[in-house]
Copies of this chain bind each other. A is one copy, B any other.
Amino acid sequence: MGIVERRLRQKEEVKTSILQAAWQLVLDEGWQALSIRKIADAIEYSVPVIYSHFENKDAILLEFTKDGFRLLNDAITSGRDSQQEAGLQLEAIAQAYWNFAFNHKEYYQLMFGLGIPACETVNQVAEMKEFSDTLIAVIQQAINASNTPKVDAFLKFHTYWSILHGLVSIQMIDRKTSPWSQLVLKDAIAGFIKALNG
């Protein structure tokens, strides 16, 4: 009897419909305007149904945060694979990171807004760890390729990521994507690579 299977399947359908409706609302009105009641309205169920699929609102946002990291991870690995030399890879990744942030502002703001909901530290999100691991590996290669005193890849990762995140978030605060942005990006990354090569 596939009754319980059907029920599980239907339950799963409702869960994905919650996520779909919620994300549509985020796209339409921004994630600050997302509310449980609006989601319930959209899926034509009552409010408590949502709480039988997610512990609370933060749990829903956490799903989107993970989705965001998966997209970002895809973007930076694509950027990496578009180049052979480690230095060029770092440039391509920087560009991919920047493009992701501005093509998916909602994701980026959720991921790096005011701390990830329901998590003590960002590193508790597996998708986040994958992100840093990927970058550290590329930076390690770049360090190995350089003929300078070896430095710590983790330190340099933090520097690299800080530059990228700073650029993006300041640009987002300003609300307008000025023509400066691209220049600043290239300038900052060039400086980083120059420092990496001694």
A184 to B165, CA, bound (A): 14
The answer to the question of A163 belonging to the interface, with a C-beta cut-off of 8 Å to chain B, is yes
- Considering only CB atoms, which chain B residue lies closest to A115 in the complex? B173
Is A164 an interface position by the 8 A CB rule? Answer: yes
Chain A residues 144-167 with CB under 8 Å of chain B are 154-156, 158-159, 161-167
A29 lies within 8 A of chain B by Cβ: no
Whether the Cβ atoms of A195 and B184 lie closer than 8 Å is no
Contacts of A191 in B (CB 8 A): 159, 191-192, 194-195
Is B190's CB under 8 angstroms from A121's CB?
no
Give the number of copies in the complex. Answer: 2
Q: Closest Cβ of chain B: how far from A58's Cβ, in Å?
A: 13
B-facing residues in A87-122 (Cβ within 8 Å): 109, 112-116, 120-122
Give the residues from 58 to 97 in chain A that come closer than 8 angstroms, CB to CB, to chain B.
none
B155 and A184 contacting across the interface, CB-CB below 8 Å: yes
The yes or no answer to A188 lying at the interface (CB within 8 A) is yes
CA distance A4 to B194 in the complex (A): 66
Q: Which B residue's beta carbon lies closest to that of A175?
A: B121
How far, in angstroms, from A82 to B120 measured CA to CA in the complex?
Answer: 38
Q: How far is the CA of A113 from the CA of B112 in the complex (A)?
A: 10
Q: Is the CB of A184 within 8 A of B158?
A: yes
In the complex, A190→B164 CA distance in Å? 17
Q: Which residues of A contact B (CB under 8 A)?
A: 32, 109, 112-116, 120-123, 154-156, 158-159, 161-167, 169-170, 172-176, 180, 183-184, 187-188, 190-192, 194-195
- Kindly list the 4 A-B residue pairs having the minimum CB-CB distance in the complex, ordered from nearest: A166-B166, A191-B195, A162-B166, A165-B166
- Beyond A116-B173, A165-B169: 13 further Cβ-contacts under 8 Å? A114-B114, A115-B172, A115-B173, A120-B175, A155-B180, A158-B180, A162-B166, A163-B163, A164-B166, A166-B167, A190-B195, A191-B192, A191-B194
